Amino acid sequence: MKLSGLGVWNLYFLVKFALFYYGAIDFNVLTNAAFAALLAIKFKQPLIEKAKHILGAVFAVVLLYQDSWLPPINRLTKQAGNVQDFSFGYFIELLTRVISVDMLLALFVISVCFWYTSQWIRFTTVTIVGLLVVGWQGDNSQSQFVNNVANPEPVTQNQSNPQTQVITQAAQSPDQKLADFYQQQSLLMSHFPNQVNGELFDVIILNICSMAVADLNAIGVSVTDMYKDFDVVFSDFNSATSYSGPAAVRLLRASCGQTSQTALFKEAPEQCHLFKNLEKLGYQNNVVMNHDGHFDEFKGLINKYGGLDSTPFNIDSMPVALRGFDNSPIYSDEAVLDGWLEQADDCKPCAMYYNTTSLHDGNQLENQPRVNSKETYPIRHKNLFADINQFVKKLEKRGRNVMLMIVPEHGANLKGDKVQFAGLREIPSPAIVSVPVAIKFIGPDVQNYSQIVVDDSTSYFALSELVSKALQTDVFGGNNSVANLLENLPTAPKVAENEGTIMMYVNQRPFIQLDGGDWSAYPQGK
């Protein structure tokens, strides 16, 4: 046994250095250095040497996956049932996003250059120097992170609503900041009146899958223009997660503060359920979807953890507008909303929750040739809001008072970034969880003058508070204005969480924690 050069394995490390330089992967210096050290050992027995390279190939794949930003293997196994539902066409579409032509050409060029120059360049030395440089950069980044945490910027306390701010001037670790956030959120609960004060009104919530502010920017749509006929627009609303089921449960539990992902799937006090609070006031709850609610047990989640136990509105006879990424039917938003509206007159007052997946990644237009779903996103978005605007006009003609809210679940990650390719939402990055929310008060006596844009970071609890205030003040009788409802509006720091993944801002920069490990800055840019 003796030490030798790394030979062709140098190419593996050169490729990883290049990927790391462009931010396509992370790089664990210790594990990669240990792997290089193992490869540098040359065994005298040919069988052992051959076995080393075979095992090395396995380790190389595992290390590359570990250094990538792809979800951990254990999380993929948990999602195996869902992944099996993907259509073959969607698999191919995702593959083209991960492996691009430019990437293959770059790999080809690096390989040719390596073979050509390996005759006079000692690439093992280059690999060792590369490991040292990456390790040195990592130490500097960690020092910068520690310095940021140890020297926090002053926090401005909202005196009119102190419960919604993380109040601290002392240096705190991210874990302490997160614990403080959840502790303060646990104190929040909306207090609904015992009866409606003033005119009755319906509450309608349209929960839209896959529409973030970043997605609208990507297709050239202005948030304020899109919501031009709405009274209140939240331009920086925190969906707090990047998956549909948890997002819907968080919305339906809006009457309490934000909880951790673990607590989200435990029993919550009945006072936390927005629709249960409305039900106590005589509201009849309605559940409407333009899909079957089967994928990822969505229908069961909103029933068990969201407190919506009403039988979903039957849509089997509705026209199909799209086919989902699992080839399941997605029905026309216009037809489904119209169908519900036709039978809603007996519901006084009425609380309706509508969930649409028309913008979900991988959807295909019905009876049309298959194309990349990213290309059809602008078309699907335009169709969806044409249907919503028609629904709004029909609500206005109907003559009943309505508080209409549009609340996206999360973004589509239409552009992707250094960490996650387009469509991947494993990490709840700011571009995915910053969604545009809007509210419209429909009624002949409502005092609505012009669009009010709220740029502060807000989340679900603010929506519950607005519903509670509308119930306590006669907004629809003209005795209170929409602007007055927004006074002392609860705000909150942007914290988002999926299973095993947390995103939180530290000194105005997003940081992430994966599977309880160390906190690291979320790479910015493409």
* 232 and 429 Cβ atoms separated by less than 8 Å: no
**Does residue 349 have a cis bond before it (omega within 30 degrees)?**
yes
Residue type, 344: A
What local confidence, expressed as pLDDT, does residue 155 receive? Answer: 42
Please, which residues bridge with residue 208 across strands? 356, 408
DSSP class of residue 156 equals P
- What are the DSSP calls for 386-444, one per residue? HHHHHHHHHHHHHT--EEEEEEE-----SS--SSS-TT--SS--HHHHEEEEEEEEEST
Distance CA 478, CA 445 (A): 5
> Cβ(432)–Cβ(212) under 8 Å?
yes
Q: What is the pLDDT of residues 238-260, one digit of tens each?
A: 999 999 999 999 999 999 999 99
Q: Which has the closest alpha carbon to 332: 312, 316, 313, 318? A: 318
Q: How confident is the chain (526 residues) per 10-residue block, as mean pLDDT?
A: 81 89 82 92 89 93 86 62 68 76 81 84 88 77 54 44 46 88 96 91 98 97 96 97 97 97 94 97 96 91 93 95 94 98 90 98 92 93 98 94 98 89 91 98 87 96 97 90 92 93 92 87 74
List of residues 6+ apart from 447 with CB closer than 8 A = 475, 478, 480, 481, 482
Phi, psi (5° rounding) for residue 408? -65, 145
Q: Please, what sign has the CA dihedral across residues 410, 305, 440, 209?
A: positive
403: β partners: 203, 441
CA dihedral 448, 452, 457, 459 (to 10 degrees): 20
Positive/negative CA dihedral, 452, 490, 501, 325? negative
- Can you tell me the distance from the alpha carbon of 472 to that of 329, in angstroms, rounded to the nearest whole number? 41
- Residues sharing a CB contact under 8 Å with residue 13, sequence separation 6 or more, in sequence order: 6, 32, 36, 127, 130, 131
Distance CA 20, CA 26 (A): 6
DSSP readout, 310-346? Answer: SPPPP-TTSPEEEE-TTS-EEE-HHHHHHHHHHT-TT
Task: Give the E-state strand segments of 195-319 in sequence order.
Answer: 202-208, 232-238, 284-289
Q: Is 495 in contact with 504 (CB distance < 8 Å)?
A: yes
Which candidate, 440, 435, 491, 437, places its Cα nearest to that of 470?
440
- What type of residue sits at position 383? N
Q: What is the rounded CA–CA span in Å between residue 268 and residue 250?
A: 11
Return the pLDDT at 165. Answer: 46
